[in-house]
Amino acid sequence: MRVIVRKRVVVPRRFALAVRIGSVVLALLAVAVIFHAYGVNPFDVYRSIFFNAFGTKVGLTETIVRMMPLLLVSAGLALVFKTGFWNIGAEGQLLVGAMAAYVVARTFPDAPPIALIPSMFLVGFAAGAAWGIPPAVLKAKLNVNDVISTLMLYYVIYWVFQHLIHGPWKAREKVGQLTYGGFAHTEIISKNAWLPVIGETRIHWPTLVLSVLAAVGVYVFLNYTTAGYEMKVVGDNPEAARAAGISYLRTVTLAMIISGGLAGLAGVGEFAGIQHRFTPEFLSGYGFTGIITAWLGGVNPIGLLIANFLFGGLLVGGQYIMIDYKLPIGVVDMFNGAILFFVLAGDFLLRYRIQIRR
Amino acid sequence: MDLSVVENILWVGFRSATPLLLASLGEIYAERSGILNLGVEGMMIMGAVSAFITALTTGNPWLGVAVATAVGILMSLIHGVISIHLRGNQVVSGLALTMFGLGLSSVIGRKYVGYQLPVKARFLPKPLAEGLVKLPVIGKALFDQEPLFYLSIVIAVVLWFVLYRTKVGIVIRSTGENPAAADALGINVYLVRYACTALGGALAGMAGAYLSVAYSPAWIENMTAGRGWIALALTIFALWNPLRAIFGAYLFGVVEAGGYTLQAYGYSQWLLNGVPYLLTVIVLTAGATETMRRRMGAPAALGVPYVRGEK
């Protein structure tokens, strides 16, 4: 008996879908084993995640609240990954975007929302893009490893942020006539800078609109513009791209401007739409989870929507199980990692055909 | 600043360099064989939690190191199977390993948060020889350390020797440079890659053990705090050479330790925390010009799955 492994030429759509779903199911089973060993009933945990994320009205709207920043981040990441550049620092670009929004809101607290809100998004995009450009230039000019540089710049801005909220940006508390610096958080920004929400929910609709536009936009950009086409060529075959006169520097920098900028928008949304002030716990890992959803969804609006909706739900459900089953916050990371492993393994079946011959 | 401050910076710096050195030595071997494993952080934190729990329950730090090493190997083999047999994307798989390790370690360590290791179960700095410790400035840094500190240097020298002076080293390097040619010469490419990936996991696990049984003998979630990523950067900075890794690790360690000292002089602890990460980017950038000048890049087949007869 021999096992023959051959490259697939075409992958049937239904087969691809079945493999993806099968991979996620196997990942959930693997994590179930860990939960069982930990001493909680995995089926209860999964029921709790699913019900709290998708089974109630509040759950569904909260899932959408988390889907929005994920969608923005992953749309940009899916695009930049097409060029073969690994942007692992979207979390930092998101943070810079949020910090820029804070500066705008603090500088013009009395500006009307109609001017203030678009300015925050614009400046946030620019700031996120600016934080994303150096790794692209360093890679193009000096071949500095992109994974390391993007991630290190996340840590750099994270500590700058901590410095600011513990010092220069710290809110002054008023007690009678006295003011003093109290806890490590900034002041709440002026109401004019708060993003409008839908009804009683926390869905800040300008971000929702932007996120859906981003998911569709990167698809159109990649498939229907010259610059997008060049990104695909650079990613698929850098040698051919160079031979054809496509500038690696320009292509990758543009991709990072879009990716960093979209992450910046996610930061603006999270800050001006939800939190309205900075605390040390401002970040919640959208920049990292977005790497997974970008890779799963690809540059495809439907794929991105599905992947981010599901992972948004996982984040919401994860919060409930943390409280109900006394699990640490890292439990969501464990899910993410396990799902990625199984999807990677399942990909083998999509790329290769396994035949067994006697 | 008097001499004792410098002495102390060096001592603390060499301590914080030890996990960086161990982890980057392992990654050097993995990458030399052609496997890019971005999961160092995940393997390291799993090593830290398993070493801590083992040392706490048995009272034996060496047993902790052994278990951490085994756990590191197991973690690395997940990445090995996906990268080698299943020919998956090594960047994504490594990231998954980091996430999985950070998550799983927090679940496993949940019941141990805040525990301290009893003194018996820790590694304590022990003077190698009283006379040597009294040497000015470097005496304490070099000769008043935990056993794993000395072990890491021995491992570095041995790994350098094996890589550059033995046939095994040639086999590993040729597997990373040109697996097809290595295969044609009868080298088992898969076996070499699995072995090097496992060595990477073992040393990352040991690095984690150093953190939780020697450096700060307690379990704190995410206590690796990005050290796995700095180790990855060190691998590039060291140009995949174990001896250069010693130099790089101590440079980083001393800068980090210098930061702690500056806090005492009123500089922002938050900004100082960010310095090692900024330094990583600067060092890589500075190193890149040298890499290009000397034409010493990454192993040619790094991150590329090998399939016999397929281009």
- Average pLDDT of B52-80? 97
Give the helix/strand (H/E) hosting B168: helix B167-177
- Contact at CB, A152 and B233, closer than 8 angstroms: yes
What pLDDT sits at residue B292?
Answer: 65
Cβ-Cβ pairs closer than 8 A, A with B, add up to: 156
Q: Give B87's contacts in chain A (Cβ within 8 Å).
A: 348, 351-352
For residue A28, being part of any structural domain is answered with: no
Give strand pairing partners of A179: A174
Q: What is the pLDDT of residue B291?
A: 65
Tell whether the model's pLDDT for residue B307 goes beyond 90: no
Asked whether residue A291 is domain-assigned, the answer is no
The mean pLDDT of chain A is 92
Return d(Cα B181, Cα B175) in angstroms, integer: 8
CA distance A112 to chain B (A): 35
Instruction: Determine the 3-state secondary structure of B28 from DSSP.
Output: helix
pLDDT(A173) > 80 = no
Partner residues linked to A7 by β-bridges:
A352
Q: ipTM, 2 decimals?
A: 0.89
Q: Would you state the structure tokens that stand for residue A14, as one six-digit string?
A: 């239904």
Judge whether B246 and B79 are in contact, CB under 8 Å.
no
Whether pLDDT at A252 is above 60 = yes
A134 within domain boundaries: yes
Q: Is the pLDDT of residue A128 over 90?
A: yes
**Could you identify the residue written with the tokens 């609240």?**
A65
Sign of CA dihedral A233, A235, A236, A237: positive
Mean pLDDT, to the nearest integer, of A52-58?
94
A12-21, A179-188, A229-238, B90-99: range with lowest mean pLDDT: A179-188
Q: Is residue A332 part of a domain?
A: no
Residue-wise pLDDT tens digits, B271-290: 988 888 898 898 888 877 76
Strands A352-357 and A2-7: antiparallel
**A279-332, pLDDT tens digit by residue?**
999 998 899 999 989 998 889 999 999 999 999 999 999 999 989 988 888 888
Mean pLDDT value across residues A91-108: 97
Instruction: Give the domain extent around A111.
Output: 73-282
At residue B1, does pLDDT exceed 70? no
| A176 pLDDT tier (thresholds 50, 70, 90) | low
| pLDDT for position B311 | 53
Q: Do the chains contact at A334 and B100, CB–CB below 8 Å?
A: yes
Q: Which of A264-273, A348-357, B170-179, B242-251 has the lowest mean pLDDT?
A: A348-357
Whether A6 is in a domain gets the answer no
Tell whether A150 is covered by a domain: yes
User: Chain-wide mean pLDDT for chain B?
Assistant: 90
* Kind of pairing between the strands at A172-175 and A352-357: unpaired
DSSP assignment letter at B135: S
For residue B143, which amino acid is it?
Answer: F
For chain B, counts of helices (H) and of strands (E): 13, 2
Please report which confidence band the pLDDT of residue B294 belongs to, taking 50, 70 and 90 as the band edges: low
Which DSSP symbol is given to B110? Answer: G
Confidence of residue A183 (pLDDT cuts 50, 70, 90): confident
3-state DSSP assignment of residue B116: strand
Residue at A118 is within a domain? yes
Walk me through the domains of chain B, giving residue ranges and CATH numbers: 3-119+137-293 (1.10.3470)
Task: Using an 8 Å CB-CB cutoff, list chain A residues near B93.
Answer: 340-341, 344
Chain A residues with CB-CB distance to B310 below 8 A: 7
Task: State the smallest CA–CA distance between residue B166 and chain A in angstroms.
Answer: 30
For range A172-191, the mean pLDDT: 77
How far, in Å, are B22, B25, B120, B165, B305 from residue B19 at the CA level?
5, 10, 21, 25, 29
Is A43 inside a domain boundary? no
> Residue A74: which of A258, A295, A270 has the closest Cα?
A295
Average pLDDT score over residue span A81-102: 97
Q: Whole-angstrom Cα distance, residue B227 to residue B24?
A: 10
Name the domain count of chain A.
1
Cβ–Cβ gap A142/B93 under 8 Å: no
